[in-house]
A = this chain, B = another copy of it.
Amino acid sequence: MEDLTEMLKGTLEGCVLELISREETYGYAITRRLNELGFTDVIDGTVYTILLRLERNRLVQVAKRPSEVGPPRKFYTLNDAGRRELATFWTKWQYVSSRIDKLREDGA
């Protein structure tokens, strides 16, 4: 699928939040997971900027732990603010996507 970057704006961060909410995880693994899920062109640099933003906005808890196969990993967990943010993200997504689908179908 050709360039989707503009369409991912505002939604990619929510996807990352969702993945973190499932289980404690780290940037490299999140990128891999997103690629598997069809977001094939999302690269690690993008995910790291999102993670740093989440950290700056105090939506996540961070724990650095060593890895046995490479440099240390930064593991992320949602805090209460993060869970609220995730909930409002899905509310917004539901709202926007339903309106767009509606506009597409009966359109006018």
Which A positions have Cβ atoms within 8 angstroms of B?
Answer: 1-2, 4-11, 15, 18-19, 22, 33, 37-39, 88, 90, 92-93, 95-97, 99-104, 107-108
How far is it, in angstroms, between the C-alpha of A33 and the C-alpha of B107 when the chains are bound? 10
Q: How far is the CB of A21 from chain B (nearest CB, A)?
A: 9
Instruction: Write the chain B residue with the least CB distance to A97.
Output: B97
Kindly state the separation between the CA atoms of A101 and B37 in the bound complex, as whole angstroms.
Answer: 11
Contact in complex: B7, A103 (CB < 8 Å): no
Which one of B10, B22, B107 lies within 8 Å of A8 (CB-CB)?
B10
| Interface contact B10-A6, CB-CB below 8 Å | yes
Docked-complex contact A99 and B37, CB < 8 angstroms: yes
27 residue pairs A–B, Cβ–Cβ below 8 Å: A2-B88, A2-B92, A4-B92, A4-B96, A5-B10, A6-B10, A7-B11, A7-B92, A8-B96, A9-B10, A11-B100, A15-B100, A15-B103, A18-B103, A18-B104, A19-B107, A19-B108, A22-B107, A22-B108, A33-B108, A38-B95, A38-B99, A38-B102, A39-B99, A93-B100, A93-B104, A97-B100
